[in-house]
Structure 1
Amino acid sequence: MGEYMILVVLEHDGQRLRKGALEAISRARQLSALGAIAGVVIGENTQAVAQEAAQYLSTVYAAEVGPYTPEKWAEAAYAAAQKSGARVVVASGGRQSRTWTARLAYKMKAGLLEDTLETSTDGQHIIGVRYSFLNRVTEKQKAALPVVFTAKPNTTPLAEPAGSSGVVEALEVGRPPTVEVLERLSEQKKGVSLTEATVVVTGGRGLGSPEAFAGVEELASTLGAAVGATRAVVDAGWRPYSEQVGQTGKTVQPNLYIALAVSGAVQHQAGMNKSKYIVAVNKDAEAPIFKIADYGIVGDVHQVLPALIDAAKKLKD
């Protein structure tokens, strides 16, 4: 049994920590009154990422379990929790974490708080605040220790290095239930990650054709932004599902969200309405997107978009 009270499961891309991992470390530090913090890096070839993580945490476990499956991640996180003695496990929110955190909570006989905006403790419980009702309201939940919780992306400041290097320890992980991976497809995505972007440019069905997304991509590239899409665009096959923003897609919270020919149905708003600034372009003055936009342009997107690209290039110059 270890001496740690909090364990952070560190998300990474195989080479470096992801932004969500640094947010999760920040959340753990906010609860440091409960006790010390350890981390775990799970996957294959974890040593380099674990060494990076040791800049932030005094102890980091490296669990070599091979390619991702929910069962292996849950088993590795459980092994790390057992070795460290942690009663609180923190992870970054997202589609992948949803597939293994419930399994971990079951193993630990712990409460599960998902996609929290902020967390606190009274010493015996973890209190989490999260969005509900399509992000229109917030609700407060309380769970007695032990607790597994995830931090909603882009809601927490990134952790700074601790100032001294920690220790990396290899972690032995038991064999999880047998799962055979028949095929693994990895989409080759260029540009900025949608969930980590500080600027997002999203195109809607009102663009009229998949070819019109060339302008969306150009504006995004000029601004150093990620490209997003509405469900209608994805359903039409114009853009991949990985770019979908909304209730059934990804939730983003950038500093700037530019919605081009996006009507702004409530399901789409659920994925982006907490953006710091929202700029909307739509020919329909009654489009719902204008109700939440900070700046709106009523006009033909095919005329407005080239002007936005030109303005962006001038700013860049």
Structure 2
Amino acid sequence: MILVVLEHDGQRMRKGALEAISRARQLASLGPIAGVVIGENTQAVAQEAAQYLPVVYAAEVGPYTAEKWAEAAHAAVQKSGAKVVIATGSRQSRTWTARLAYRMKAGLLEDTLETSTDSQSIIGTRYSFLNRVTERQQAPLPVVFTAKPNTTPLAEPEGSGTVETLEVRIPAGVEVLERVAEQKKGVSLTEATVVVTGGRGLGSPEAFAGVEELANALGAAVGATRAVVDAGWRPYSEQVGQTGKTVQPNVYIALAVSGAVQHQAGMNKSKYIVAVNKDAEAPIFKVADYGIVGDVHQVLPALIEAAKKLKD
């Protein structure tokens, strides 16, 4: 049995959940697949998930804590008899998957790019050394692993499954007293197929209006470098890099980004990288597929105009 822990926003499954389902289907030789939706408003999301999976458990445990998610996932493992648990490779998953692996006495493979099985173990590949090296890991069953976002095709619906309510006994521990959700418009950075990132070379926070305009024209997410975030120009949630988010979109557009190795660690596996920088020796050009050496304030309006024409 394979169990997929399905990330959601309280209304719908996230894109990463559909990728995790695809990974499970690739390992179907290990047995049937079930899913579990954990958190709040789980019944509605579970009904959606039942279009993709034959059995979906709905575990209503309230606001997120790592302990609750690990306990609920473990309850689903015990109910289903799963030997493999798959989750999205998100920041949230990193906080509870290790706890689950400990409870299961299982191996843990994080941020896998692809996975396979020899019926006795899971073999996964992942990036290491700032995404410059691909390594192959193997862990005997049982195994918990996460699928790196934007590395797997999205699953398609396959029918109509059943939804079962999963009762979870949550031990006393940390409780969430208040949660403030960041108000963010536009496309999610980690799920976007196109990302437009601005760097310190833009010169001011006001210049990000052009970055946002280009992103809107392309249906893209907005990203930022650490220097921009540290300066208070943009929120941390938009930071791309070693200490921010790792993205792997089809197209990554870097505007006035120098491309330090720490930033490259968060984006250098994008399918196509487009860079605009006035410094022809900027490190970003070493990883860029297409580069424009020029003043970003002159190039950006032309990119926006071209993007709008494509949209029309």
TM-score w.r.t. length of structure 1: 0.97
- The corresponding residue for 1:312 is 307
- The corresponding residue for 1:251 is 246
Q: Deviations over 1:261-296 (max 9, x none)?
A: 000011111111111111100000000000111111
- The corresponding residue for 2:18 is 22
How many residue pairs get aligned? The number is: 312
Give me the whole-angstrom Cα distance separating, in 2, the residues matched to 1:149 and 1:198: 23
1:1-317 correspondence to structure 2 within 5 Å = 5-162=1-158, 164-317=159-312
1:210 is matched by which residue type in structure 2?
Answer: P
Q: Which runs of 5 or more structure 1 residues have no equivalent in the other structure?
A: none
Q: Structure 1 residue 241: deviation in Å?
A: 0.5
| Mapped contact 1:245–1:252 kept (Cα < 8 A) | yes
Secondary structure at the counterpart of residue 81 of structure 1 = helix
Q: Could you say what the CA RMSD is over the residues aligned between the two structures, in angstroms? A: 0.7
Give me the whole-angstrom Cα distance separating, in 2, the residues matched to 1:304 and 1:213: 14
Give me the whole-angstrom Cα distance separating, in 1, the residues matched to 2:6 and 2:175: 24
Q: Structure 1 residue 208: deviation in Å?
A: 0.6
| Moved >2 Å (runs of 4+) | none
State percent identity of aligned pairs: 89
1:69 is matched by which residue type in structure 2?
Answer: T
2:88 is matched by which residue type in structure 1?
Answer: S
Give me the whole-angstrom Cα distance separating, in 1, the residues matched to 2:135 and 2:102: 23
TM-score w.r.t. length of structure 2: 0.99
Q: Structure 1 residue 41: deviation in Å?
A: 0.3
| Mapped contact 2:190–2:245 kept (Cα < 8 A) | yes
| Mapped contact 1:71–1:177 kept (Cα < 8 A) | no
Secondary structure at the counterpart of residue 39 of structure 1 = strand
Secondary structure at the counterpart of residue 284 of structure 2 = helix
